[in-house]
Amino acid sequence: MVNRDDLNVYCNDFLSVSKYKDYCPNGLQVEGTQTINKIVSGVSANLDFIELAIAEQADAIFVHHGIFWKNESNVIVGSKKTKIDLLLKNNINLFAYHLPLDDHPEVGNNIELGRVLGIKKMKPVDSSLIWQGELDTDLKTFSSLIEKQLGRSPQIFGRLSRSVSSIAWCTGGAQSFIDEAISLKADVFLSGEVSERTPAVAKENDMIYISAGHHATERYGVQALSEHLSSEFNLKHQFLEVQNSV
């Protein structure tokens, strides 16, 4: 067991929360029980996930996408009210970590996705959320590996016949970082989503762009963080999957 406030302080320090200017509050978003024994993790704090957490009798929820965002309304009505009400009635803590979890060098979304996809010589790019590394396979085989590991077929844009050996990537909705990947001279840039301009930018710069799914690419950091906390504080942990086609 661990004290809620002690866990919050530990996570904020471990993930270096204070160094990020983010679109949301990182850390404890909704206060629940003071003593935590069982935690559950998932990608997003949507209603389906919260209902699963209640069924699993969780003391705390850890997610990448929380409830509060700076570009959304501040009023608590509709589904937001429903979700917060359920958390409060069931005395469940909600912890959410966005950019700090993407970027973390041990349990972050980027490094964990790189491990899942077998990327070699992984390293973060200075002053950026992008990571870079090397591939020791061809594009067709790499595409098959993505489909097998992430459970969905990736969308691939660019000259598919070209050889590939270097890759840059950033999980989630980071397709706009393609310009940074071009400056790195990466053969492949991988992210979660695709915008209207992305296929043309990839083609014009003879780069392969892979859209592997926002949800699919961001499953792994929150699991790794929660497994770390489980080991550090002797907590029960369970990852709860809520399918999302995006």
- Ordered domains of the chain (ranges, CATH): 2-97 (3.40.1390.30), 109-217 (3.40.1390.30)
Percent of the chain with pLDDT over 70: 100
d(CA 6, CA 104): 20
**What mean pLDDT is reported for the chain?**
97
Residue 5 burial (10 A CB sphere; 0-12, 13-18, 19+): exposed
**CA torsion 12→15→20→25, rounded to 10°?**
-50
Place of tokens 């996930």: 49
d(CA 43, CA 64): 5
* pLDDT > 90? residue 127: no
d(CA 68, CA 80): 9
What is the mean predicted confidence (pLDDT) over 107-135? 96
| pTM of the shown model | 0.96
**CA torsion 230→46→52→222, rounded to 10°?**
-20
Report the pLDDT value the prediction gives residue 68, as an integer from 0 to 100. Answer: 97
Q: How confident is the model at residue 47 (pLDDT cuts 50, 70, 90)?
A: very high
